[in-house]
Structure 1
């Protein structure tokens, strides 16, 4: 199983890389725990770069999300 994240902007649009592929697609994790630890360590940098929400995927299937990366108001 491979775990990964899908990134969306504030409008809910999928964020893509320069080739038009979903951003973050190449970053895969062996376990859900590894994926969640990674997002916990990198969410601020992602938010600063325009990522507004993330969805956790397992082998391309949505597990949960989108989960906002913005602080509560």
Structure 2
């Protein structure tokens, strides 16, 4: 299994891989820990929402900011 993050801007459009890290992980826990350490930098680069993928299957999505009023 391979775990990766897919990034979307505030407008919902995909964020290009060249603009953000393209990390792969061997476990869900490693992927989530990495996001916990790097979410603020991703948000500064324009990422508004992330989706966790297990191979090609989307597990969940979540916003990187609390501005979901």
TM-score in terms of structure 1 length? 0.83
For residues 1-73 of structure 1, the aligned pairs below 5 Å read 1-18=1-18, 26-65=22-61, 67-72=62-67
Aligned length: 68
Q: What are the ranges of 5 or more consecutive residues in structure 1 without an aligned counterpart?
A: none
What's the CA shift string for 1:22-57, capped at 9, x where partnerless?
Answer: x65741000000000000000000001100010000
Check conservation: 1:4, 1:24, Cα contact below 8 A.
no
Higher helix share: 2
Runs of 4+ in 1 over 2 A off after TM superposition: 23-26
RMSD: 1.8
Name the structure with the higher strand share.
Answer: 2
Gapped runs of 5+ residues in structure 2?
none
Contact 2:20 2:42 in 1 (8 A): no
